Structure 1
């Protein structure tokens, strides 16, 4: 078992890596929690460092009005990490998150390059192990708008009444955060030692304007018309899951249009530009289904008969969102990735729920992780 700590655990990439490691066998990975305050307390930082077999150093400042502050902060964090290792004679495997901006003429990129070289000197002199990863532009759910990436900014603006603008259109190398943390996991678990440097390939090349056009299409199809767009391509699915993570939770539940005549009623449950699997369940009063989350699947719960309470909670957070649905006014709620969710029959009669998910269930790769909402 490897004891793994992540500096910057609460940040965009850090939280995704922390959660990803949480899906692994506890006999393989033990997560050692990190909090930002450790960098302000040398003794606590030293204790934390000594408890780790592997440290993934992600903590860094990306933006500030004074570039020198960015440089001083990032190099300073590396120096504190090295000092903690030296104070405890610890030799954890350090995985350093660098950036393709090392190759550019700016102080953020310089801070990454100089930080990497300091860690290389530590590893060489102490007999420690360092793996540096040169990372392209990262996008994914829960990124901080106006800070982590232009994708986060565009998604935030489109879902909150803003209007994204392209000030400089250019080809951008992109990697989805789920793919990136899989690279981290590979280097956490492999037997590589010594000083190593790897450039993470960017699976996608897109212009800023192309990305915006796709996101605007998602807003029209999904937010305005309730239709899941064509997400058959991996990048489109990843971008769609990123986009939906910025939709305010009060967007749900969404009521269906119910057509009624002398024969009865008709309700269209799902319209999608992509393939998927539909199913339904019946649930007796008082019973709860679910209590699991997905990391990639797009899923819809549609209550067509009975009364239900649907609950959502983002993994590793405490806030629970509740949605009440009644089959007399058929409605749906879509399940965001990384949100554990359940559905409870709160009525006196049988609950009938229709489920749609964008990929058929595969027992060899279910992408289903059990965790109670409450």
Structure 2
């Protein structure tokens, strides 16, 4: 079992990598890291000594002063190198750099110099190094106005603001989960590669991305419709967009009921894509679920009885409680990386309709059990 530590563990990519490594408990042991370790040599050394693999992601991406960015990023790499030397570590160190290395700016220089510092340590001390040259990364839970323009646009469109395009160029992109799986692949390979260009998985004009996000807002956020998702990029972008919704304020969404003397008619879901639809009855006091997905899109619609639907992002302690009543049919959609359940809190059977965007495949279920 490989022991893996991640500097920048609580950052955008770091948190995704940390959580994904947790899906392979028989293969990887995660060594926790805190940013304060960089200010305490003893704690940093204790961390390094525990690690077979160190993934160095800690860095500053944006600041008013480019000089500050440069100094911080170079110093972080130097502090890690000094710790590796002090401890006599032979760890495999993977360091994230950027395609901005090729540009003549201080951020790109800081990433290049940090990578070369790790490469020199590996050459001189018998360590292993993988220098990852990474394109623009997007994905769920990125920090708006910091990590990417996609994070900013998603936040604005889910919080009543109007995005503006400053430069409508073509941007090379990689989804954070694709990047994470590439990093894990390099960890498994145990190979040294001083300069490894991580290929972008898509290239999009900023205006084309914004057009898709606007479509998601109109169809999904405002209308509840799951839009047409033509390819993997659009699927990943849609899950990214959904992660910026304020779930506590948005859900549950009540259905429009059409009533006449015969009874009531409710449209549960309007689809631009396929998937699997099912229903369940749940006796009073019983809870279903307590699992999460990393890619699937899922809707729980309560049509009869009383239910408590709970959501909790897997790396937080806060649970969101939604009470639904079949007298006013409503739904809650399940965000990725949120463990969720549904409990019958009434005195009669609970009737629930479930829709998910892909049929269940036991060999690739994307279903991980965890109590809310």
Q: Distance in 2 between matches of 1:316 and 1:247?
A: 18
CA contact (8 A) 1:232 1:275 kept: no
Cα distance, 1:242 vs structure 2: 0.3
Q: Distance in 2 between matches of 1:322 and 1:188?
A: 39
Cα distance, 1:183 vs structure 2: 0.2
CA contact (8 A) 2:13 2:176 kept: yes
- Bigger Cα displacement from structure 2, 172-181 vs 231-240: 231-240
Give the 3-state SS of the residue equivalent to 2:199 in structure 1.
coil
State the Cα RMSD in Å: 0.7
CA contact (8 A) 1:49 1:90 kept: yes
1:252-263 paired onto structure 2 within 5 Å: 252-263=251-262
Matched, 1:191 2:170: no
Per-residue CA deviation, residues 258-314 of structure 1 (Å, 9 max, x unaligned), is: 111111111110001111110011111111100000000000000000000000000
Corresponding residue for residue 139 of structure 2: 140
Give the 3-state SS of the residue equivalent to 2:347 in structure 1.
coil
Give the 3-state SS of the residue equivalent to 2:191 in structure 1.
coil
Q: Distance in 2 between matches of 1:35 and 1:119?
A: 20
Q: Distance in 2 between matches of 1:352 and 1:38?
A: 51
Matched, 1:222 2:251: no
TM-score norm. by structure 2 comes to 0.99
Please identify runs of 4+ aligned residues in structure 1 that moved more than 3 A.
none
TM-score norm. by structure 1 comes to 0.98
Gaps of 5+ in 1: none
Matched, 1:96 2:95: yes
Matched, 1:266 2:234: no
Matched, 1:351 2:357: no
Per-residue CA deviation, residues 331-356 of structure 1 (Å, 9 max, x unaligned), is: 00000000000000000000011000
CA contact (8 A) 2:92 2:190 kept: no
Q: Distance in 2 between matches of 1:315 and 1:354?
A: 24
Cα distance, 1:90 vs structure 2: 1.1
Q: Distance in 1 between matches of 2:36 and 2:81?
A: 17
Cα distance, 1:232 vs structure 2: 3.9
CA contact (8 A) 2:81 2:118 kept: yes
Give the 3-state SS of the residue equivalent to 1:9 in structure 2.
coil
Of the candidates 203, 207, 210, which is equivalent to residue 209 of structure 1? 207
Corresponding residue for residue 233 of structure 1: 231
Gaps of 5+ in 2: none
Corresponding residue for residue 242 of structure 1: 240
